[in-house]
Amino acid sequence: MRNPRHNLKSPEQELRIFRVRALLAAVIVFALTGLLMGRLAYLQVVQHEVFTTRSEKNRVRVEPLPPTRGLIYDRNGVLLAENRPTYNLTLVRERVEDLDATLTRLVEILELPEEEAAAFRVRSRQRQRPFQPALLMSDLDEGQIARLAVNRHLLPGVEVEAQLLRYYPDAEVMAHALGYVGRINAEELGRLDPGRYAGTHFIGKSGVERFYEEALHGQAGLRKVETNARGRVLRELGRNDPVPGKDLTLTLDKEMQALAYELLDGRRGSIVAIAPRTGEILAMVSAPGFDSNQFVTGIDVASYRGLQEDLDLPLYNRAIRGHYPPGSTIKPFLALAGLAEGVITPGETIYDPGYFQLPNDSRRYRNWLRWGHGRVDLERSIAVSNNTYYYNLAHELGIDRLHTNMTAFGFGTRVGHDVFGESAALMPSRDWKRERYNQPWYPGETLSVGIGQGYWQVTPLQLATATAVLANRGDWVRPRLARRLGEEEVPVALPDTPEDIRLENEAWWDRVFSGMEKVISGNEGTARRTGVGLEYRMGGKSGTAQVFSLGQDQKYNAEELAERLRDHALFMAFAPLEDPQIAVAVIVENAGGGSTHAAHLARAMTDAWLLEEEEPDVEELREAMEEDDGSVAGN
């Protein structure tokens, strides 16, 4: 163009060069734009038909992939909740050439009675969106699935669809502790993260299934599928795998659980067993149970009403929601409170004439033994379950100190770590009464509380927990149901564990334990029959909870009352005395005196846990209890 060797800066020449280059650039811009336009015209005019067809045919849909719910095992790895694949037979009518022939062939292959073909025909005619599968039959067995697979080529349009359903192998025994899953309802749908629950139809409704819902559920995945214009999946284009829920290993021992349920023998009641050192709940039974599998598939109205209207309240989880007056089972705790507060000393005795009287009050608060136990010290007061001793103790303590000391054992609080729906029951206090009844606290009410009656109510879980804390000499562990979640162990020390109970004198624990041992092994013990042949040292305490109050000085015979008005039998125990491995609380509703019925059950539980031998003979035990029932020893 020009001489490149020139030395002067020439604006005119620069302008000229620029304009030439800019013009060239404009030409190139126009050419490239033309190229784009040509390409677009090619796509949108020449190839239009091809792409229209492709666009019509191909659609992309995102389908949720629900995660597999975590399995639940007992402490020994026994499966308690599994996911059962169920297979459903479906049929897409549009893809079937000859419906009658196909249905006839299906009935043959499935080895069903011929009249089923008619039912199939009805179901296949159900109104459906085009190409949506109609359900012909659910829960196919393995043989049927295999035969269908072999004959698949003869059955265009027939498909077997898999769906995972929760299944509880020991539903009745485990129902209350495990809880169950059920269909997600409208309220739950409102609060759930739709992404997490995409494609999931079930959610934990109660128990462990509810408490560990988040971990058990996992995270939904997605898959991108190409479908034809009618919504039929042609192929999978990509997927984002779901994160399966974590498996849960419980502290429960299935054998202990089953034994406890068997021991209750259909009676209304509850048994809770805890390993005191770790707080692990070994058994937590509420009887009667129910078949929780019914709730998974969706219970029918009649069955549900049946369960709800059952007088035995099978749906009611007595272990954590049942409110029972603790009766005499709390005497060891009150004894400790008296020692801690300096109200009593271990060697000090009182004289029991058979009743206690408040100063300036003529009302007599009766011992259960009408003529009295005479001289009673701390150990004997527990062994014979003397009431007068505890009337006196409670009176000296007063309700405020009594409330504080009992709350320290967990009474009136929710003690469980991962127990869904637990009740705090009631540990009465001055403040509570003012708030509830707008009345002052009367001294007489303290006396009732002193023998575990009156307003005081406990849950079986609370009683078992307090027993475990007692067995630990005051060291607190929160009872828990989960041992391991996925790979993660649940630690023994949990946050917000209540403060340990410390006594000035460690020997006081031994005195109380000694009294509790005499309940079972002493010759005056209220549960001495239960102690026969005991192979280890065991401490316990019986209790009777009155279903309703009886008038003063009115003697009654439990057998005269309707069965449902009989006293509840309670027993709490731990063993072995020197190194506690198990703490148990037993409540049998309307069973009469605790020392007979409930104590046998408690011992059966400790035997099963501590002794290597085969399962205790429940039949033999029952016979022993029948014999005892005639001769009630005390409360």
Partner 1 sequence: MALNDLTRAWRPHPVRPPASGMSRRRGLWERVHLDPWLFGMLLLLMAAGLVVLYSASGQRIETVMAQGIRFGVALGVMVVIAQFSPATLLRWALPAYLVGVMLLVAVELVGDMGMGARRWLTIPGVIRFQPSEMMKLAMPLMVAAYLSRRELPPRLKDLLACAVIIGVPVVLIAKQPDLGTSLLVAAAAVFVVLLAGLSWRVIGVLAALAAAALPLLWMNLHDYQRQRVLTFLDPNSDPLGSGWNIIQSTTAIGSGGVFGKGWLEGTQSQLEFLPERHTDFIVAVLGEEFGLVGMLAFLLLYLMIVSRGLWLAAEAQDTFGRLVAGSIILTFFIYVFVNVGMVSGILPVVGVPLPLVSYGGTSSVTLMAGFGILMAINAHRRLLPR
Rank residues 85 and 195 by Cβ distance to partner 1 and give the closer one. 195
Which CB, 18 or 556, lies closer to partner 1?
18
Which residues are registered as beta bridge partners of 272? 284, 585
Among the listed ranges 20-28, 136-144, 261-269, 363-371, the one in contact with partner 1 (CB under 8 A) is: 20-28
How many of the chain's residues bind partner 1 (CB under 8 A)? 47
Q: What's the rounded Cα separation, in Å, for the pair 271 and 264? A: 8
Nearest to 481 by CA among 268, 610, 317: 317
Least distance (Å) between residue 199 CB and partner 1? 17
- Under DSSP, is residue 623 helix (H, G, I), strand (E, B) or coil? helix
According to the binding rule CB under 8 A, does residue 611 interact with partner 1? no
Output the smallest distance, CB 226 to partner 1, in A: 9
Helix ranges restricted to H, 135-253: 142-150, 171-178, 186-191, 207-211, 213-217
| 432 secondary structure, DSSP code | H
Stretch that binds partner 1, among 16-24, 131-139, 214-222, 348-356 (CB under 8 A): 16-24
From the list 37-45, 72-80, 330-338, 509-517, the region that binds partner 1 by CB under 8 A is: 37-45
Tell me how far, at minimum, the Cβ of 201 lies from partner 1, in Å.
Answer: 24
Stretch of residues binding partner 1 (CB under 8 A), selected from 36-44, 113-121, 426-434, 539-547 = 36-44
Nearer to partner 1, 22 or 101 (CB): 22
Q: Closer to partner 1 by CB, 9 or 191: give it.
A: 9
The nearest distance, CB 195 to partner 1, in angstroms, is 15
Considering only residues 183-242, where is the footprint of partner 1 by CB under 8 A?
A: 237-238
Q: Look up 328 and say whether it is catalytic.
A: yes
Query: Which of 124, 118, 137 has its CA nearest to residue 93?
Result: 124
Shortest Å, Cβ 5 to partner 1: 9
User: Is there binding between residue 562 and partner 1 (CB under 8 A)?
Assistant: no
Question: Per CB under 8 A, does 36 bind partner 1?
Answer: yes
d(CA 144, CA 111): 8
CB nearer to partner 1: pick between 47 and 303: 47
Residue 193: CB partners within 8 Å, gap ≥ 6?
Answer: none
**What number of residues does the chain have?**
635
The CA distance from 495 to 490, in Å, is 11
Residue 45 contacts partner 1 per CB under 8 A? yes
Per CB under 8 A, 32 contacts partner 1: yes
Q: Considering Cα of 606, then 608, then 611, then 615, what sign does the dihedral take?
A: positive
- Single out the residue of 348, 424, 428, 356 nearest to residue 390, CA to CA: 356
Residue 438 region by backbone torsions, left for phi larger than 0, else alpha for psi between -120 and 50, else beta: left
Which one, of 412, 374, 371, 69, lies nearest residue 212 by Cα?
A: 69
Of 49-57, 74-82, 122-130, 415-423, which segment contacts partner 1 by CB under 8 A?
Answer: 49-57
Q: Is 47 in the site for partner 1 (CB under 8 A)?
A: yes
Pick the stretch among 38-46, 101-109, 208-216, 319-327 that binds partner 1 (CB under 8 A).
Answer: 38-46
Nearer to partner 1, 62 or 565 (CB): 62
The SS3 call for residue 129 is coil
- CA torsion sign, 548 to 549 to 551 to 554? positive
- From the candidates 328, 381, 448, 595, give the one annotated as an active-site residue: 328
Structure token digits, residue 88: 């459903």
Binding of residue 27 to partner 1 (CB under 8 A): no
Distance CA 240, CA 224 (A): 9
**Residue range at the interface with partner 1 (CB under 8 A); choices 8-16, 158-166, 473-481, 580-588:** 8-16
Angle in degrees, CA 326, 344, 499, rounded to 5: 60
If one asks whether residue 550 binds partner 1 (CB under 8 A), the answer comes out as no
In the chain, helix, strand, coil percent, each to 5? 40, 20, 40
CB burial of 48-60 (b: ≥16 within 10 Å; e: otherwise) equals eeeeeeeeeeeee
C-beta closer to partner 1: residue 48 or 502: 48
Instruction: Report in angstroms how near the CB of residue 206 gets to partner 1 at its nearest.
Output: 38
**What part of residues 55-74 is at the interface with partner 1 (CB under 8 A)?**
55-56, 58-62
Q: Which of 17, 146, 492, 618 binds partner 1 (CB under 8 A)?
A: 17
Contact call for residue 13 and partner 1 (CB under 8 A)? yes
What is the Rg, in whole angstroms, of the alpha carbon atoms belonging to the chain? 37
Nearer to partner 1, 33 or 303 (CB): 33
In whole angstroms, the minimum distance from the beta carbon of 198 to partner 1 comes to 15
CA distances from 478 to 161, 254, 499 (A): 45, 21, 11
Give the residue from 540, 605, 620, 617 showing the smallest Cα distance to 253: 605
What does the DSSP assignment read for 473-488?
A: TT-----BSEEEETTE
Residue 46's identity, in one-letter code, is V
Task: Quote the least distance from Cβ 90 to partner 1, whole Å.
Answer: 25
Binding letters toward partner 1, positions 473-512, x by CB under 8 A? ----------------------------------------
* Among the listed residues 15, 154, 565, 618, the single contact to partner 1 using CB under 8 A: 15
Binding of residue 9 to partner 1 (CB under 8 A): yes
Query: How far is Cα 177 from Cα 285, in angstroms, rounded to an integer?
Result: 7
For partner 1, the closer of residues 85 and 130 by Cβ is 130
E-strand spans in 252-297? 269-275, 280-287
Which one of the spans 11-19, 180-188, 252-260, 268-276 is the region binding partner 1 (CB under 8 A)? 11-19
| Residue with Cβ nearer partner 1 (1 or 302) | 1
Beta-carbon contacts of residue 265 (< 8 Å; ≥ 6 apart): 618, 622
The one-letter amino acid code at 482 reads: A
Spatial CB neighbours of 255, under 8 Å, sequence gap ≥ 6:
76, 608, 615
Which amino acid, residue 323? Answer: H
Check if the beta carbon of residue 500 is closer than 8 Å to that of residue 474. yes
Please report whether residue 303 would count as binding partner 1 according to CB under 8 A.
no
30 touching partner 1, by CB under 8 A: yes
The one-letter amino acid code at 532 reads: V
Closest CB to partner 1 among residues 8, 162: 8
Footprint on this chain of partner 1 (rule: CB under 8 A): 1-2, 4, 6-11, 13-15, 17-19, 21-22, 25-26, 29-30, 32-33, 35-37, 39-41, 43-45, 47-48, 50-52, 54-56, 58-62, 237-238
Any idea which residues carry the catalytic annotation?
A: 328
